[in-house]
Every structure is written in structure tokens, then in C-alpha cells.
């Protein structure tokens, strides 16, 4: 199978947010990350293609603050605040006779996420529940067709399990997402495994978002042409990330992911770079 690269910018919670390990009481973790997809001119089509191809190249950049705080030994609060920087660029004449949307930029909040992670069963094999709520914070510009987030509330309960040793860990998770405003609901699942080599973590991960196609929201034509936060988006991704521990408090992260299957998401290399501070 030929893999296309895809950085998952649609959900502000990374796979890391689904970890089954809560923070220690009063412990915290803060990460600032820059994610980007260079200009792309093609998206994965859906099963029922309602709109034609992109009329202009699109570039996506995102700055995100992500944080965890240990409320108790078993309960962790989680939050993410993304800011999107989008561009509608060069006209693609092979797809259209004339452009449907304008060239331009849009900057705005994406869907701010709040969550709580609760340890259910502790021990060698852990079981943890997570409840995530995404706020309908977003901007839309009809002239360019650019949108920075879903115009909906999202509620996503998840269960995760995993175990860790001195130099390795793994976990899996799964849940059912409900989205308001007549967007389709979705299934979300994934896995992550990592190996520790001195100050470096080498990590592989995979995630699936599968739209159930039970929503019928009527989005503007220009929004559908751009395929930004439209209905029935989904993907299956494989990715790699590294964490370099500068010391026990500070570190640097880098990541990229590849999509083997997608629906209304871009076909283009994507990358992420970040830095974090933790206190446990």
C-alpha cells in the first residue's frame, strides 16, 4: 500500500491525551507545538462525493497549547487550545475552469478541548476512562471557504488500557464521538507504543476516526470545496514521533503521520514540532 502523509490537525487532542496513566497529584505537563501541512492540491474523496476537487491550493498551520494537571492521584484534567493559520492559495486550473473561492488567509481559534482522565483499575495492566468535550470555537470565511474548526459541540468518552516497563510501554484506546448541529457521529480508536533509549523516546502510533454518516448538516459550498472541518471526515493513520529529554523537566518533541485511508482530508506531508515542561 502506498501511504500518503497526513498530519492530524482536525482533533486538538493528540494520541498522547488518550494515555491511560494519570498525572501525580498536583503534577502537571504543558506543551507548546507547531503543526503544519504545506500547500496541498488534493484530498481523499468520500464514499459519496458531494463536491468536486479543490479549486485552490490550501496550506494549514496550527499552534497549540496542551496541558495536563493532576487533580488527585487518580484524576487528571486535560485541555488544549489550538490556533489555526490557514491559506487559500494558487488556483488549480486542472480542476476548475475558473476559481470558485478567493485567495486569502484566515486565522482563528480551532475547537478548544477540555477533558478529564480517571483511573478505573490500577496495576500492571491499567484501565482508564477519559471524557473529552470540544467547544464550538471556530471561524469561517465564505469568500475563501476556509474554516478553523467544527461548528459544533463534540463529546467523546473513551476507554484506554496499557502497561509500561522500565524502557517500554504500550496502550490502546477506543470511544464513540457525538457531534451536535447535525454533524455525523464517529468512532475513534488507536494505539501507541514506545521504547526508551537513554534520553530519547522512539514512538509509533496509529489512530482511526470513522464517521458513521448519520448527520445531514448543509454546509456552504465553498466550505465543502475546501474540505476543512466538513461532515463525515475520517482517516486511518500511522505515525512516528520522538521525544528528546533535555532533563527531567524539559524536552523536545517531533512527529509525522501517514494516512493509509482518508475521507475529506488532505494528501500531503505534515509535521509537528514542540517543546514541553513537566513537573511530577
Measured CA to CA, the distance from residue 175 to residue 106 in angstroms comes to 32
Q: What percent of the chain has pLDDT over 70?
A: 92
**Predicted pLDDT of residue 11:** 45
**Predicted pLDDT of residue 235:** 93
- Residue span of the structural domain in which 50 resides: 4-279
* In the predicted structure, residue 48 carries a pLDDT above the cut 80: no
**Predicted pLDDT of residue 96:** 92
pLDDT tens for 122-176 read 888 999 999 999 999 999 999 999 999 999 999 999 999 999 988 999 999 999 9
- Our count of domains for the chain comes to 1
Cell of 233: 471526515
- Least confident interval from 12-16, 201-205, 241-245, 247-251: 12-16
The three-state (H, E, C) secondary structure of 134-169, written as one string: ECCCCCEECCCCEECCCCCCEEEEEEEEEEECCCEE
Residue 5: band (very low, low, confident or very high) from pLDDT cuts 50, 70, 90: very low
Looking up residue 264, the CATH number of its domain turns out to be 2.40.160.40
Cα distances (Å, whole numbers) of residue 153 to 106, 177, 179, 184, 244: 21, 10, 6, 12, 35
**Predicted pLDDT of residue 3:** 41
> Do β-strands 104-109 and 113-121 pair in parallel, antiparallel, or remain unpaired?
unpaired
Find the DSSP H helices in the chain.
221-226
Cell of 260: 493509509
Amino acid at each position: 500500500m502506498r501511504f500518503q502523509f497526513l498530519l492530524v490537525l482536525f482533533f486538538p487532542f493528540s494520541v498522547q491525551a488518550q494515555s491511560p496513566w494519570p498525572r501525580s497529584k498536583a503534577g502537571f505537563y504543558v506543551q507548546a507545538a507547531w503543526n503544519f501541512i504545506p500547500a496541498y492540491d488534493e484530498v481523499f474523496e468520500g464514499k459519496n462525493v458531494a463536491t468536486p476537487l479543490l479549486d485552490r491550493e490550501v496550506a494549514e498551520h496550527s499552534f497549540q497549547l496542551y496541558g495536563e494537571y493532576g487533580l488527585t492521584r487518580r484524576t487528571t484534567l486535560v485541555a488544549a487550545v489550538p490556533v489555526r493559520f490557514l491559506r487559500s492559495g494558487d488556483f488549480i486550473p486542472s480542476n476548475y475552469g475558473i476559481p470558485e473561492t478567493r485567495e486569502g488567509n484566515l486565522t482563528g481559534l480551532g475547537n478548544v478541548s477540555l477533558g478529564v482522565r480517571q483511573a478505573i483499575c490500577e496495576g500492571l495492566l491499567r484501565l482508564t476512562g477519559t471524557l473529552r468535550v470540544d467547544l464550538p470555537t471556530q471561524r469561517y470565511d465564505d469568500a475563501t471557504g476556509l474554516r478553523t474548526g467544527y461548528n459544533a459541540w463534540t463529546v467523546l468518552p473513551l476507554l484506554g488500557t496499557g502497561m509500561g516497563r522500565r524502557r517500554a510501554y504500550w496502550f490502546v484506546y477506543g470511544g464513540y464521538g457525538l457531534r451536535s448541529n447535525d454533524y455525523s457521529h464517529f468512532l475513534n480508536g488507536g494505539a501507541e507504543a514506545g521504547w526508551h533509549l537513554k534520553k530519547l523516546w522512539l514512538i509509533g502510533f496509529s489512530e482511526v476516526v470513522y464517521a458513521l454518516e448519520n448527520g445531514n448538516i448543509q454546509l456552504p459550498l465553498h466550505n465543502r470545496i475546501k474540505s476543512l472541518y466538513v461532515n463525515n471526515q475520517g482517516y486511518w493513520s500511522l505515525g512516528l514521533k520522538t521525544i528528546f529529554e533535555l532533563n527531567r523537566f524539559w524536552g523536545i518533541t517531533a512527529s509525522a503521520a501517514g494516512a493509509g485511508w482518508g475521507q475529506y482530508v488532505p494528501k500531503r506531508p505534515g509535521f509537528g514540532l514542540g517543546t514541553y515542561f513537566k513537573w511530577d
